[in-house]
Structure 1
């Protein structure tokens, strides 16, 4: 996984910069949980970051136990501080070597992390190990051919870079199918990520995503100025939410 996540500054701003309205987080969580038929599923999140989805799944998927795995010590420290829950356990580990026994989980979530994992075949084999038979992997990402996030409107250089590092749909599905997974569905889902462009601007000021490290300070400030101008010109009395769409690939273990 990209070691930029060992950056304590990024870990400190990640939660605030990537939070979403409570209703959106609930909707995402319930959608993810709908892909397993097992009551009170045992869940692992790979690349759990600060644990937003871990705590949400423990809260809204009743009776579930959740293990959040991340390779970053600073991120896990924030997860334990911000998203502690009696049914959530955070572990230091990688997608290629999950620090648990085999046949343990009903569902594995990889949210906004697959592009950080160059050896997807090895990751798929490891998830096949830790999942129970007919366990489900949910990959939440944006495939290379569908990069449409608002951030690219203000920092087009990020789109160019992400076109190089984000995998395509066929690459992801092919790697998991080679490890014995069957594709259940590929879909997309969109929900508000911020209540207004002004709120979105306020979040972006902290550079809360690892991709911003690839920009020069001048490039970042140029995009931020344009975003601020648009946020100021928007309606404060009736602000429009900023909606983000993600692709979802759902695969089933043998």
Structure 2
């Protein structure tokens, strides 16, 4: 009888032990699931689109400042104001995957130019006489990202009043589609938009190009077709497929050709 009681007591203790640990495990599992779903909900949030759009700048100015004030501004053609833009025409050059250090120039470092001549008109204006060669005559490790964009360095050095170089850090995801939206729509990218990088859709939200259209500006798009998939209201689209991994040159060659052709004409306000 005593043996049976001991066995029963052991079974009860084992049952309580399992029950207690099962409860603790269940609580921990539930907490982890809540943390996981809270994280996923914040990480892959579905952004609500804003369909309201700003109106024409002149109409807005008339409502805020009055017709008399706006008309007085329009008469001052040489004065920059909310009505009179500082420039008649603007060219926006957007380079995908351009690292900031690509634009840097180190006067103590000189590349070895193989098979091509230096751009003497610009290169000779840069005070760089030091060679990147050690005392024993052996060349140091090449920094391939340095001193490639000599034109940028030349402009920064010789047109300081008209040129500024900024650096900004982009949070992930840094895919092309999300970054274009951030630049021209002011939105914050999220990981739900990653799939749009391969099949971008036209945005219904207010954006830079929408406002240009509302203000009767003619915009020409040249180069990558991603921008024309995301935005609309371009007066002319001279774009090409951007995901052709077998051809890295045709798009650049065609874009350069189209740019010089359109630049000579006067039928545009902005070339992008």
Same fold (TM over 0.5): no
TM-score range, shorter chain: under 0.3
| Bigger relative CO (Cα 8 Å, ≥ 6 apart) | 1
Give the TM-score, by structure 1 length.
0.20
More strand by share: 1
